[in-house]
Amino acid sequence: MIEVLSSVIELLKSGAAATDAALERLLPGSEIAPHSIHRSMRYSVFAGGKRLRPILCMEAGRMVAGKLPAGIADLGSALEMLHTYSLIHDDLPSFDDDDLRRGKPTSHIVFGEAIAILTGDALQTFAYETLSRLSCPAEATVQIIREIAIATGTGVGPTDGTGLPYGMIGGQVLDIEGEGTKPTAEQVDRIHRAKTGALITTSIVTGGIFAGASAETVEHLRLFGQRAGLAFQIVDDVLDMTQSSEDLGKTAGKDTASDKVTWPAVFGIEASLAQADTLIEEAFAELESYGSAADSLKSVARYLVERKN
């Protein structure tokens, strides 16, 4: 058990290091004008995130290719830019109004609200510029951009099949509109699958596409990601209720204080954790036929539900 844990920690460290190196290379330096926006972009991106989405992307690529595909860290970096943009906007006074993120003052506290909004905008557009230059076949690049645009957008994802809002922004809208209401199981499921799960799912799917996955493998990765992404957010909801701000690196208890629609609010803490474990087992079943090639990807997914911050 200790060896397995050590292996996962090393995998996470190496994946984060590869992502940080790519981000350092790709992002404009703070000495480049306009200085304030580039300082703000780098401040939020390098504030100490776990890089889970890029790591999931890279491990999906490793599963498909049998080794880490050259250039995939750039794809992971674009996903991290998009994730960071969403966090900056989430923390704004008009959203969650939070002053702590990744253990540091949030972007709008340090740089002001206007620059924080523009920082999120800049990271989003720079992410797509990065995606346009990926070192994979043009057809794969177009497919990756399409997948990510759907996952971060407002509408119904054509590959989702549920008729429900699939994209991150659609999920954020549902989250805002759900504040102060009595949460239902259907409501919390829709919000979590869209707001958080969609970007996690597309990180895994696009990693596979970058590595040349078949259509069948892409769909297995999609189902794996949907289950793992939902499990991640369920655990995030539980941690918000059970851990301190110091442990989380963000304001603990914020969801409860803001009357957010959360999984524990509907099902309770113990049942929520049990459902997260079940979802991970269902996710693993999607990759059963890939044998040991999927072990690293599975180990990261297991970490999603066993983490404490």
User: Given a cut of 60, is residue 26 above it in pLDDT?
Assistant: yes
Decide if pLDDT at 257 tops 50: no
Higher pLDDT, 57 or 193: 57
Residues 161-174 have a mean pLDDT of 76
More confident residue, 157 or 264: 264
Average pLDDT for the chain: 90
Q: Residue 38: pLDDT band by 50, 70, 90 thresholds?
A: very high
The pTM (predicted TM-score) of the whole model is: 0.91
ω before 165 within 30° of 0 (cis)? Answer: no
As a whole number of angstroms, the distance between CA 110 and CA 43 comes to 9
If you average pLDDT over residues 54-79, what whole number do you get?
Answer: 98
Instruction: Identify the pLDDT of residue 96.
Output: 87
Separation in Å, CA 229 to CA 30, 50, 147, 213, 246: 33, 15, 16, 20, 24
Higher-pLDDT residue of 187 and 144 is: 144
Identify the burial level of 102 via C-beta atoms within 10 angstroms of its C-beta, where 0-12 means exposed, 13-18 middle and 19 or more buried: middle
List domains and CATH numbers for the chain: 2-306 (1.10.600.10)
pLDDT at residue 63 above 60? yes
The stretch 128-142 carries a mean pLDDT of 98
